[in-house]
């Protein structure tokens, strides 16, 4: 019976507190969690002695009652449960040694689709991070075979990734750090409802699991494991995005990062990933498309593909520098009747696109 199978699988998964590698070894030995219970504790331990370490928990009435409660709650609330032994379990994730034994899912997504791209980054995103998340997602939407965008539904870059995926017609998967009885952050309730119409919400955590901070770290391995590649858009020296990138590298998946100024703390993590050869530098959606061998209507979309013609700030900067080589930001601000801080982002965009360069004295010139 499916319910019994799910209860047995949930009971086994719940014995390991996030370390699912031993659970997978047990599952490979017995074929299914139900087979363990059919044998009984004594025979199961004889067949696989390492099982003795958790046998007291696995066969306890408390454990089975908790698993039954979780499974029944999920069934009553139309939450799908996919076991690692099911044919529709995500194969990319199954390839990872620490894949969960059981996924809880709401929404519609075919995990066998050919392209999944994770986009992650800091919760404290800047206008720069938001803008380039949109531009890269828009660029990826030009693909004939469109990727599914995977992220963690946290504030900041995660929210931007899901939002722009929906805006540009891409399906998206949000990997939650809580069970389905709790939505975090609550401010993303409307976004979660939209995702359910054009993708899915997934989690390894059963309902009634306390929302421990470590659970949001644990879910990063699922984001990386579901995806063919991971893009870190914006990250400080420490953060969940860097953890996801390292996990993706461990899984032999491609990692990309958007660069920033070397003295910008907001991009210290991204720059470190690039410097340490963990991530390939991204100059636009075309960087990912080319590296992954994906087709595109225009695979050369640069990060600065926004218009730089008449009436734009970047157009004004370029015209001024053509006539006034090696000008600093104060001179540019005065000429354009703007504030220096308002020019920081367009100057960085022009620099990253290769249109201008910084020379001695923090002055700019046309390249």
Cα dihedral across residues 188, 77, 102, 195: positive or negative: negative
Residues 6+ apart with CB under 8 A from 76: none
What pLDDT score was predicted for residue 302?
47
pLDDT for 303 equals 47
Find out whether 16 and 40 touch, Cβ atoms under 8 Å: no
- Given a cut of 70, the residues of the chain with pLDDT beneath it are 17-19, 296-311, 360-361, 367
What's residue 311's pLDDT? 63
Domains of the chain: 2-88 (no CATH), 116-292 (3.40.50.450), 313-366 (1.10.10.10)
pLDDT of the residue at 148: 97
For residue 310, what pLDDT is reported? 52
CA distances from 58 to 2, 29, 48, 109, 336 (A): 19, 16, 14, 32, 70
> What angle separates helix 21-30 from helix 2-13, to the nearest 10 degrees?
140
- State the residue for tokens 């953890």: 243
Short-list 213, 176, 87, 44, CA closest to 11: 44
pLDDT at site 270 = 94
- Here the tokens at position 94 are 């199954």
**Long-range pairs for 318-326: beta carbons < 8 A, 24 or more residues apart:** 318/350, 318/355, 318/356, 318/366, 321/356, 321/364, 321/365, 321/366, 322/366, 325/365, 325/366, 326/359, 326/361, 326/363, 326/364, 326/365
């Amino acid at each position: 019976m499916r319910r019994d199978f799910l209860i047995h699988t949930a009971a086994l998964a719940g014995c390991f507190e996030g370390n699912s590698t031993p659970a997978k070894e047990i599952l490979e030995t017995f074929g299914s969690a139900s087979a363990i219970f059919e044998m009984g504790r004594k025979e199961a331990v004889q067949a696989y002695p390492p099982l003795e370490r958790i046998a007291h928990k696995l066969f306890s009435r408390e454990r089975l009652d908790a698993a039954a409660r979780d499974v029944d709650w999920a069934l009553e609330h139309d939450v799908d449960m996919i076991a690692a032994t099911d044919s529709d379990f995500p194969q990319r994730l199954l390839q990872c040694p620490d894949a969960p034994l059981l996924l809880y899912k709401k929404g519609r997504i075919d995990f066998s689709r050919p392209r999944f791209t994770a986009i992650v980054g800091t919760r404290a995103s800047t206008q720069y991070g938001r803008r380039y998340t949109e531009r890269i997602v828009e660029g990826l939407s030009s693909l004939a075979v469109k990727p599914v965008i995977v992220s963690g539904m946290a504030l900041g870059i995660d929210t931007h990734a899901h939002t722009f995926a929906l805006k540009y017609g891409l399906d998206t998967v949000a990997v939650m750090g809580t069970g389905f009885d709790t939505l975090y952050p609550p401010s993303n309730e409307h976004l979660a409802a939209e995702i359910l119409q054009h993708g899915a919400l997934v989690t390894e955590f059963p309902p009634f699991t306390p929302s421990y901070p470590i659970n949001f770290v644990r879910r990063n391995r699922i984001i990386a494991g579901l995806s063919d590649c991971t893009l870190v858009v914006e990250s400080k020296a420490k953060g969940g995005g860097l953890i996801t990138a390292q996990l993706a590298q461990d899984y032999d998946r491609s990692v990309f990062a958007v660069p920033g100024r070397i003295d910008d703390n907001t991009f210290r993590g991204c720059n470190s990933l690039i410097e340490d050869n963990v991530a390939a530098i991204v100059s636009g959606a075309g960087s990912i498309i080319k590296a992954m061998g994906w087709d595109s209507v225009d695979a050369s979309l640069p990060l600065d593909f926004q218009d730089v013609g008449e009436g734009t700030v970047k157009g004004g900067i370029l015209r001024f520098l053509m006539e006034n080589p090696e000008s600093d930001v104060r001179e540019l601000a005065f000429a354009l009747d703007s504030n220096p801080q308002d020019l920081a982002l367009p100057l960085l965009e022009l620099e990253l696109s290769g249109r201008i360069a910084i020379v001695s004295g923090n002055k700019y010139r046309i390249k």
